[in-house]
Amino acid sequence: MIKAQNLTKSYGPFQALTNLSFEIQKGEIVGFLGVNGAGKTTTMRILTGFYQPTSGDAWIAGHSVLKNPMGVKKSIGYLPETPPVYPEMTVETYLKFVLELKRIKANDQKKLLDWSLEKCGLTDRRRSVIGNLSKGFRQRVGLAQAIVHKPPVIILDEPTVGLDPVQIIEIRKLIKEFAGEHTVLLSTHILSEVMATCQRAIIVHRGKITHEQKIQDMNQRKSLEELFLEVITKDEAALISEAQRRAV
């Protein structure tokens, strides 16, 4: 469903991604794990057709992000780091606007709207102005926006950041419900999040994939936490020793 091949992205002299390749099957929920600045958001922006890769290509539901970005945009729902909401709109009018942007036929709009409101627990807030909602509810509106058109692929950039523990559990439960029908890629720097929601984890560090494993396998061999720390500290250690070598 999602396939990335040798994705490379540089912003001027800074290389954000280096030869990133991975594949995600239909119905899977995959966690994209990495420290801040590891390249998670850049990868997601390329997958959604927002950025163009410097080299390499990615396919979403068979559409290439380079050759057919419109096809890609039709098959995805995307929640960026900050929910892309208009504070002056009500929840309902906002989601209707999103449905029109996604080119959903007028006949199907009402059903999808009600469905997404219910899924995200927003039914009794449908007439609230988004600017007056709490951060948690605004995040839910962002999530509703990503799923409202029932896209085959859902991409979520740090979906639980800034939420309280109860909200985090609710959102995680919601994401889990998407398994099977939708393919979900979510990014986070919280280890337990991946453990709780995902079937597979991809660890990125400094724009490279350093590890990829099923969550079940991890528990048997090494815990995800150990792996993550190992990857990062190994890299730091290498950097420090290199710096020392240069100094000498």
Partner 1 sequence: MRWAAWTIARRELKSLFVSPIAYVILGIFALISGIHFLASLETFDKILKNAKMQAQFSQNTEIFSQINLNEMLVAQVVSFTFFLFLFTLPGITMGSLSEEKKQGTYELLFTSPISSWDIILGKLMACFGFFFLIVASQIVFLTVIFKFGNPEIGPVVASYTGLALCALVMVAVGIFTSSLTSNQIIAYFTAVFILLILLMIGWAAKIVPGNLATFFEAASIQTHFEGFTKGIVSVSSLVYFFTVSLLFLAGTQISIDSLTRR
Residue with tokens 């899977």: 28
Exposure string for 1-14, b = 16+ CB within 10 A, e = fewer: bbbbeebbbeeeee
User: Least distance in Å: CB of 176 to partner 1?
Assistant: 24
Q: Measure the CA–CA gap between 120 and 155, rounded to whole angstroms.
A: 16
Residue 76 binding partner 1, by CB under 8 A? yes
Stretch that binds partner 1, among 77-85, 182-190, 205-213, 237-245 (CB under 8 A): 77-85
Nearer to partner 1, 37 or 180 (CB): 37
Q: Which of the residues 196 through 215 are near partner 1 (CB under 8 A)?
A: none
Site map for partner 1, 120-149, x if CB under 8 A?
-------------------------x----
Choices 93-101, 175-183, 204-212, 222-230 (CB under 8 A): range interacting with partner 1: 93-101
Q: Which of 6, 18, 19, 84 binds partner 1 (CB under 8 A)?
A: 84
Q: Name the residue nearer to partner 1 (CB basis): 145 or 160.
A: 145
Tell me if 204 sits within 8 A of 50, measured CB to CB: no
Helix spans in 76-119 (H): 91-101, 106-119
Alpha carbons 238 and 113: distance in angstroms, whole number? 51
| 103 scored as a contact of partner 1 (CB under 8 A) | yes
Residue 108 as a binder of partner 1 (CB under 8 A): the answer is no
Mapped onto helix, strand or coil, the DSSP state of residue 154 is: strand
If the CB atoms of residues 34 and 80 are measured against partner 1, the closer one turns out to be 80
Q: Order of strands across the sheet with 63-64?
A: 14-24, 2-11, 55-60, 63-64
- Contact code string over 31-70 relative to partner 1, x by CB under 8 A: -----------------xxxxx-----------------x
* Token duo for residue 124: 């009794």
Vertex 206 angle, CA 41 and 52, to 5°: 45
Interface with partner 1 includes 177 (CB under 8 A)?
Answer: no
Nearest approach, Cβ of 84 to partner 1 (angstroms)? 4
Least separation in angstroms between CB 42 and partner 1: 10
Strands of the chain, DSSP E: 2-11, 14-24, 29-33, 55-60, 63-64, 76-79, 153-157, 183-188, 200-205, 208-214
Q: Which residues bind partner 1 (CB under 8 A)?
A: 11, 48-52, 70, 73-74, 76, 78, 80-89, 97-98, 100-103, 145
